[in-house]
Structures are given as structure tokens and as C-alpha cells.
Amino acid sequence: MKVLMKGNEALAEAAIRAGCHHFFGYPITPQTELAAYMSKRMPQVNGTYLQAESEIAAINMVLGASSAGVRAMTSSSSPGVSLKGEGISYMAGSDLPAVIINVQRGGPGLGGIQPSQADYWQATKATGHGDFQILVFAPSTVQEMVDLISHAFDTADKYRMPAMILADGMLGQMMEPVELPEEGSANLPEKEWAAKGHGGKRAHNIINSLYLTPEKLEQLVKERFERYETVKRNEQMAEEYLTEDADVVLVAYGASSRVARSAVNKAREKGLKVGLVRPITLWPFPTDALNRAASHAKNFLVVEMSMGQMVDDVKLAIDCKVPVHFYGRTGGMIPTPADVLAQIEALL
């Protein structure tokens, strides 16, 4: 039975059904409905909802809860996610899983409150200080928000690393029909590393990110990067839409991929051979799908709601085999399918 839900609410309900019973948040537009929904629902499942005194406090509560082995989550929007950067880095350095949601708005600074994708660099390259990566998932529909939440928790647990759902104000605020997984259907893994009390029955577990011996720290970082290589090999996700015969391949994720899809459909109606590669994981970046498309396309066109933050990743992924062009709007502006179609036609 499908229900109609806002993206923000669907993320919250899906997280609970994925076994997340610990949520720590702080309000900010355009993600506030998520925290509001959690405040109503968590008591019904005997979970913990806590509105922290700040975003920094919230992410550190997530760190604490995750250390004890439970599924924990926080959510915010762009300026708030910047504040969480330190905590995310500490979690990466402590090999702790968690899910962080960013319902992006325009920046930099306080920016605006309209939808944006200007936190791509932050999410994929510089969430915080130090040598680390986090998993980054980019849903494009409310249903995909639901599906990716449980996948994000599972993958974060599997590799013991934080995962981010990189959404935006459009996806957070819009309603679409969704099918939710059954309550209690989550498969929660045993976490032998968790620091949750043991009654003297085993050696104690330590959760820590401080290593003052450089040899030891280097070794740990290198081991983590070996794990990242496994993630890159096994966890790439992308949708390839009408790319088989495409001369122009659009590359877009999240909300802008919906605009791109509309533009592809309009182009196809005109008989133009245009397709779309939609990255679903932004880290690991879906290089395999992009290279399949690059083997026959004449041009790539990246479409984003930013100044083109993903363009370099696309160029690197395909080793500049075909020219990579860019069209985008920023600051909370949303490109229209007609704008994108005009860019496509200029390339043909």
C-alpha cells in the first residue's frame, strides 16, 4: 500500500524501520520536518529523540550512540552540516558507522533556504579534517530516499564508516507516493567492537581517534584506505537511462537529475540521441557506468544545482575520453528542462 509522504518525513520513517532508534537533531530549514517527525515517532518505538543544543552536540551524541553499537542518525541542512564536520571526522577516525542527512540549501554562509547541490565538494572530499572518506548516497525520488536509508545503514555497518544521504530542499519538501518496508524488517548485525559493557567477560573495547605515534596512525589510515578500495570496487551505484545509443550523455544526481531526465525525454521526442547517467553513490563515484557511456558518446553534459562541483570527478572518471561540458544554476535556483535542452541542442 503506497502512502503520500514528504521526503523529509519519509527519510525519518524509513530510518526507524531500518532499526535506527536513536536520533539527535537540531532544527534548520529545509530539513526541520524530519526532526519534527522523529520527535513524534521515536517515543512510539521506545526510541530516543533528542533535540540537542547545537549541531555539534547532535553529531557527538551520534558518535556516542554509535560507539555503543546502535544505529544512530542526525540530520541537518548545509550550514548545520558544516558544524558537524568535526564529529564526522572523529567518527571516521574511530571507525564508527552512522547516517548523516544533508537536505542541502544554497550557500556559502547562511546562504538561502531554497534547494541546492552546492555541498558536493564538502560531502565527497572535505566533510572534515584528515585522511578519510564517507559513503555518500544521492536519492532522486522520495521512494529512493526510503530505499537508500536502509542501504546506507547496512553499508555503513558493513565497512564501519559514516554514510551521508545528500538530499536537497526540493526532495525534502516534495511529496510522492512511497512504499515503506515492514516495521521490524531490519537485519541488525552484531557489533563485537561496540563499547557497551561486558561484565568482565571479555577484554574491553576502546573507541578512539587519537593516536600520538605517527607509525601507528599511518598504519591505521592505510588500513582504512585499503577498505575504501574495496568500497570503490563493490559499492558503486548509478542509473543508466537511454545511454546505449546516446551521442550526448547528461550526468546529474538528485533533484537536478530529474530535470535532466525531463530534458532527455524532450530531446528523444525530437529524435535526438540523448541519455543520462545518474550517480546514486557520489562516493564511491560510479566510474564504471560513466566509462560505459563514454565508450560511444561524443559529449558529456554535467547538470547541477551548483557551480559545477562534480565536473572534475566526471573528467577524472572517464580520463577525459570525451569533452565534459557543464550547465548549472546555483543559489537556490533550479534549472528547467527547457534550459537543459537548449544546452543539449548547442552540442549537437
Partner 1 sequence: MKNLNILFAGFGGQGVLFAGKVVAYAALIANKQLSWLPSYGPEMRGGTANCSVCVSDEAIGSPLVTNPNVLIAMNLPSFDKFINAVEPGGVVIVDSSLIDKKVERDDVTVYYVPSSSLAEENGLSGLSNMILVGKLFQEVCTQGDCAFCDSDILDQAVQKCIPARKAQMLDFNRKAIQIGAQQ
- Which cell numbers in the block locate residue 49? 529523540
Interacting stretch for partner 1, rule CB under 8 A, among 89-97, 120-128, 172-180, 199-207?
A: 172-180
Q: Which of 86, 131, 147, 176 binds partner 1 (CB under 8 A)?
A: 176
Using the rule CB under 8 A, is 338 a contact of partner 1? yes
| Closest CB 282 distance from partner 1, rounded Å | 20
User: Out of 4, 110, 316, 342, which residue is the one contacting partner 1 (CB under 8 A)?
Assistant: 4
Distance of closest approach, residue 303 Cβ to partner 1, in angstroms: 11
Distance from CA of residue 17 to its chain's centroid?
18
Comparing CB distances to partner 1, the nearer of 265 and 291 is 265
Q: Which residues contact 139 (CB under 8 A, 6 or more apart)?
A: 145, 147, 148, 165, 167, 171, 254, 280
| CA triple 81-82-86, angle to 5 deg | 100
Q: How far apart are CA 154 and CA 152, in angstroms?
A: 5
Nearer CB in complex with partner 1: 51/262: 262
Cell numbers found for residue 147: 530505499
Rounded-to-integer distance, Cα 166 and Cα 178, Å: 19
Interface with partner 1, residue 170, by CB under 8 A: yes
Q: Considering only residues 43, 108, 130, 177, which one is a binding residue for partner 1 as defined by CB under 8 A?
A: 177
Among candidates 344, 311, 278, which has minimal Cα distance to 120?
A: 311
Does position 179 interact with partner 1 (CB under 8 A)? The reply is no
> Is residue 174 a contact point for partner 1 (CB under 8 A)?
yes
Type of residue numbered 230: T
CA distance 270 to 181: 39
Answer for the pair 100, 128: CB distance below 8 angstroms, yes or no. no
Per-residue interface string for the shown chain with partner 1, residues 258-277, x marking contact by CB under 8 A: xx-xxx-x------------
Of 45, 52, 56, 113, the one binding partner 1 by CB under 8 A: 113
- Binder to partner 1 among 175, 316, 320, 348 (CB under 8 A)? 175
Q: Burial-class residue 9 by CB neighbours within 10 Å (0-12, 13-18, 19+).
A: buried
CB of 256 to partner 1, least distance (A): 9
Q: Which stretch binds partner 1 (CB under 8 A): 57-65, 170-178, 229-237, 287-295?
A: 170-178
Hey, which residues between 11 and 40 contact partner 1 (CB under 8 A)?
Answer: 29-30
Return the residue of 2, 125, 129, 233 that touches partner 1, per CB under 8 A: 2
Asked if residues 80 and 52 have their Cβ atoms less than 8 Å apart, the reply is no
Q: Is residue 336 involved in binding partner 1 (CB under 8 A)?
A: yes
d(CA 330, CA 107): 9
217 binds partner 1 (CB under 8 A): no
Size of the site for partner 1 (CB under 8 A): 24
CB atoms within 10 A of CB 220: 15
The string over 156-195, giving b where at least 16 C-beta atoms fall within 10 Å of a residue's C-beta and e elsewhere, is bbbbbbbbbbbbbbbbbbbebebebeeeeebeeeebeebe
Q: Which stretch binds partner 1 (CB under 8 A): 39-47, 90-98, 254-262, 277-285?
A: 254-262
Binding status of residue 173 toward partner 1 by CB under 8 A = yes
Of 67, 94, 104, 114, which lies in the binding site for partner 1, with binding defined by CB under 8 A? Answer: 114
Binding site for partner 1 (CB under 8 A): 2-4, 29-30, 113-114, 169-170, 173-177, 258-259, 261-263, 265, 334, 336-338
